[in-house]
Structures are given as C-alpha cells and as structure tokens.
Amino acid sequence: MQRSAIAKLALAALGLSIVASAASAQDKIRIGYAISKTGPFAGGAGVTTLPNYQLWVKDVNAAGGITVAGKKLQVEVIEYDDRSNSEEAVKAIERLATQDKVDFILPPWSTGLNLAVGPTFNRLGYPHLAVTAATDRAPEMAKRWPNSFWFLGASKPGADALAEVLRKLKSEGKIGDKVAMVSVSDAFGIELATAARAAFKAAGFNLVLDKSYPIGTQDMQPLLKDAMASGADTFVAFSYPPDTIAISDTAKVLGYNPKVFYTAVGTAFPLYKQKFGANAEGVLGVGGWNVDSPALKAYFKRHAEAIGREPDRWASPVTYVSLQMLQQAIEKVGKIDRAAVIKELQTGTFDTIMGKIKLADNIMPIVWWVGQWQDGEFVGIAPTKYEGAKPVRFPKPNWKQ
C-alpha cells in the first residue's frame, strides 16, 4: 500500500476516534429557550410553558437523564427572557444556537412569537415544537419548515368546534341566532375571529357585534356595553390571558349575563377559578382535557407538587407531551443528531400522558377547543368525538356579586 493511502487511512481512523471520543465524553444535553418572563405574554408563558419546561427537566433528571447510546445524560438548561418581543426572541435563539451551542431549543409562548422565530429555527436546523401556536397556516408552515411541529392545530377546527356546540344549543331552541364577538388584535385573535366568522355563518348565526381591541387593553367596559346592547344570547371573546380576566371581571361588574359566555386563552388557567370561584361555573373557553384519564391525573399531581400550583387545562399537558416526544425521539435516534430527531418526530409514534400520539403532517391530531368550568374542573366539551368529552351545561348561571 502506498504511503499516501496509509496516511489517509490513519487520518480517517483518527477522525473516527475523535468523533467517538467526543460522543462518549458528552455527559449532558444542553437545552435552551427564550421565554416571555416580562411583557404582555409573561402571564401565559408563566402558567403554560415555563412550568412544564421546569417539570419535564425535573422528571427527566430525577430518572437519570435522557438515554443516548446506552448512556444517561442529564439535561442542562440555558434560558433567556424574550420580553414578549419577536426581535428579542429571534436574537435569543440565534445566541443559543451559535454562541451557547445548545443541543436543542424549546419554543416561546404565543402564536405570534412562534411564527416570528420559525424561519430562524428552520435555518439553524433545530426541531421547532410550536406548542402554543394556533394558526390556519400550520399546514403551510409545516411544508415550508419541515422541522416545525404544530401542537394546537389550526384556527378553523377551533372555530368549527365552538360552532358545533352553539349549533346544537340553537337547534334545541335554547339560544337565538345572534352572536357578539370581540377579539385581540394579535395573530391568535385575528386568525380565530376570521375562522369564526365563516363557521358562525355556516351554522346559521348572525354576528351582531364584531370588534377587535389592541393587545394590552385594560378598559373592557366599552366593548362589554356594546355586547350587552347587541341583544345576543352568545358572547365570544378570542382573548389572551389578561384580557380574559378583564373581560370576565367587567362582565361581572356590569351584570352582563348572556346565556353563553366564552373567553379564550386563560379561561383554562387555575387563576381563573381562583379569582372567580363559584362564578367560574358554566363559563366556556378555549381548551379542556379528559378529566377521567389516570395519566393526566398523575401529571396534574406531579405538576402541583413540583411547581406549587396547578397546570392549565389546555396547553399545559400538550406542552409536556411535546417534551416527552422530543425525549423519546432523541432516545430512538440514539445520538445528538437534530436532523434524525426531526425525522423521528415526523414519522414516529410516542407514548405520552395523552396516550399514543403520532403527528399527522407535523400537526398534533388531538386538540381540545371548547371546555367548560363544571364543579370546579375545566372539562373538555368539544370536539365531542374526543374521549372524555362532557355535555355542555346550560345556561351559564348569572354572575353573583
């Protein structure tokens, strides 16, 4: 054999040795995220996203870590505050990838921020678990960014599920055909309102009030007074957590008692029940879960013990599910190979607290869109085909002062 050939083989062997040595030397998995710790999204992120990141890391590390090629690797976390700002979120993700060189990056909270950081996740080649993003662009985004995975689905199914509940009440003669709708002027509210207009029309409803409000609005009285004057039996707000609380509080103060009262993100939060107590009974909102599931009950107990408070009854368990899937994908691949992990997330089936999950074209197949506070629990109402769906209780009791 020629000396040059021998030298090449020696170099190749040395290269393989270095790679193998580096792989065996890795004793932890570095995971980073940018989350809204300040700004208008901090409330939602602090209830749904951050606690489940913390719980998952605690659970994983308590079990010894994530198994990679037969070795248990502990999870190490690097986190930043995106300040509820898309530019800050993008900068933080760039820093996590290029300076901190983390192995995986977890997503921010909100539809808007996940859409904003999508191109960056894709360019950097990291799996993007867009858990708290509800958008009709999800199928399009999944094709454009095959590394992205959408866990709250699209706006249209959400609007259709709500229309399904309202249509049944109307067919039973319990409500009329008038709906008063308000929505936050953010990606979430804009998309849900757009989908709802079509869904309500198809279900035979007349939208007698259709107004949006800027994110951060604190005075909800003008909107609620317009809703009261509309004469609608049904009130719908596609709102974010601070708005959901403010709208409900204002309705209580004004004595606004429509037969159906639906608010969006935040209705499923434990804060809602804590603030409104018995007045939460009968309120409809986005979310819900199967209260009969032993796995979810066990998750609920662990969350309350580890975090010191209950999870929300919508995106909290879904967030935890996404992390279980990430862990199982890494373990199935057997190495820190982001491209292979993305492929496994696209094609694999995963055991989770919500049962066996297989994504359909990168989209979560099970999303609760209508829940209701019943006897102190926010139960899943619709889609009615889901296991554990409960019948809606009607009408919502009047607010007690």
Q: Is the pTM of this model over 0.85?
A: yes
Q: What is the pLDDT of residue 153?
A: 79
Rounded to an integer, the average pLDDT of 217-228 is 96
Residue 4, pLDDT above cutoff 90: no
* pLDDT confidence of residue 10: 43
Residue type, 228: M
pLDDT for the residue numbered 23 = 44
* CATH code of the domain occupying 2-154+315-358: 3.40.50.2300
Model confidence at 25, pLDDT cuts 50, 70, 90, reads low
Tell me what pLDDT residue 22 has.
43
Let me know if the fold of 2-154+315-358 is the same as that of 155-290+369-382.
yes
User: Is the pLDDT reported for residue 14 higher than 80?
Assistant: no
- Look at 1 and 329; give whichever has higher pLDDT: 329
CB contact at 8 A, 345 and 130: no
pLDDT tens figures, 151-193: 987 889 999 999 999 999 999 999 999 999 999 999 899 999 9
Q: Which of 25, 45, 28, 29 is nearest to 37 (CA)?
A: 45
Architecture of domain 155-290+369-382: 3-Layer(aba) Sandwich (3.40)
Domain ranges (residues) in the chain: 2-154+315-358, 155-290+369-382
Residue with tokens 């959408």: 150
pLDDT at 12: 45
Q: What is the 3-state secondary structure (H, E, C) of 274-312?
A: HHHHHHHCCCEECCCCCCCCHHHHHHHHHHHHHHCCCCC
Look up residue 266 and give its DSSP letter: T
- The per-residue pLDDT of the chain, averaged, comes to 93
Q: How far apart are CA 321 and CA 323, in angstroms?
A: 5
